[in-house]
Chains A and B, each alone.
Chain A
Amino acid sequence: MNRFVLWFHRMGSPPTFYAFAERWRPWFLWSALAITAVALYWGLARAPDDYLQGDSFRIIYIHVPSAWMGQFIFLAMAICGFVAIVWRIKIAEIMGIASAPVGAAFTAIALATGSLWGRPTWGTYWVWDARLTSTLVLLFLYFGVIGLYRAIEDRRKAARAAGLLAIIGLVNIPIIQYSVYWWNTLHQPSSIKVTKMSSTIDPSMLWPLLAMAVATKLYYAWSALSRAQLMVLEMESGKDWVRELAGLPGVASPSTDTPREA
């Protein structure tokens, strides 16, 4: 068994996962905050004005990283859902559900900031073009995933059902990505083409944006891991390792011990 597969299997064990999250969480949070501070200062105060939009282009440093995260987290959620359904790994179920509110928040931020930018630039807060509509659908898909999870009593079944919805919702991601090419939209095409490694944003304005893209991913790691830790404790409450963590006597009484799963 190679190293990665071994690590993957170990991560499936709640105590190991909990310890891993506990160890790395602060690193994710502090690096996210530090990079955000530098990138936002540079983007909002130091980068030059846009030749056409002046200062209002600066919302790009919030809007674009948030929109990327909305889609990135949905993909991560679907991958967790896939692992959860095929291998029935508890941690994958938990990580998928823990990601959902973070992704929904990023999508909501992207929609709100885009709307604020649209008013002075386009002349309207909202239009029903393909890019905007498909992003709104993404937000509703997040609500659907969270709602479905809450609607089912059995936590593990609920997580797998929500995971399946996330997998089906994945169809929306290429639609968001390519909407600006497939149809006429008011929203402009992508400035950064990952496949061609090229961008139509001047280098002096570009790097704070890329730094924000890194910072938002680190923030996501911190936020999802924190939520997942709580969910692990809740699910495993009464087990020996949790009791030990809480400073309670190690041997649980038979009445409170939940049956162990194979």
Chain B
Amino acid sequence: MNPTRRRRMWLIGLVLLGACTAIALTLTALNQNIQHFFSPSDIADGKAPGTRTFRLGGIVEEGSVGRSEQSLKVSFVVTDRFRTTPVEFSGILPDLFREGQSVVATGAMDPQRGVFVAREVLAKHDENYMPKEVAEAIAKAKTRQEAAGTAPPGAGAP
């Protein structure tokens, strides 16, 4: 390869390396701001921004959703399977909102009650796509496995 071309190649390499370094440093510095939401564990560790507005993300705990009879008020518990945060919301929930589903709620902590008061609740979808029959078959297999795991040996197994 002739020297001119080699020099151009080196220059491009250096430019790219410089760009990568600059971007990497910027992203590392902004790491906290790029996080779209905080988890209940982050709140427990004091990483969440106190009583200012932020987003809380996690799974809606099974059996925790309570709806008011008279208003749109709904309360539920968000968990990351380690810690939990109680949430209050008044408004229309997205279609995908259900127990066991991931959500991202925007709002702030009420320091007196230790409750996250949400202004907006968005559902977060996961990367799994399957037909209804497959989902049912998986759920059935799971309950069977759980039943087999918790039942005393010899009993309950069909």
Contacts and interface: CB of A to CB of B under 8 A. Distances in A.
Are A and B part of the same complex? yes
Contacts of B141: none
Contact of B19 (A60, A168, A182, A189): A168
Contacts of B27: 175
A87 B4 CA distance: 9
Interface residues of A, number: 41
A87 B35 contact: no
B9 interface: yes
A6 to B, nearest CB: 17
Interface in A109-147: 120-124, 127-130
A56 to B, nearest CB: 9
A184 B54 CA distance: 13
Interface SS of B by simple majority? mixed
B138 to A, nearest CB: 9
Given A168-B15, A170-B16, A186 B122 contact: yes
A202 interface: yes
Interface of A: 48-53, 57, 60, 82, 85-87, 120-124, 127-130, 164, 167-168, 170-171, 175, 182-186, 188-191, 200-202, 204-205
Given A121-B95, A186-B36, A189-B127, A167 B16 contact: yes
A188 B15 CA distance: 33
Contacts of A189: 126-127
B143 to A, nearest CB: 16
Contacts of B93: 123
B124 A202 contact: no
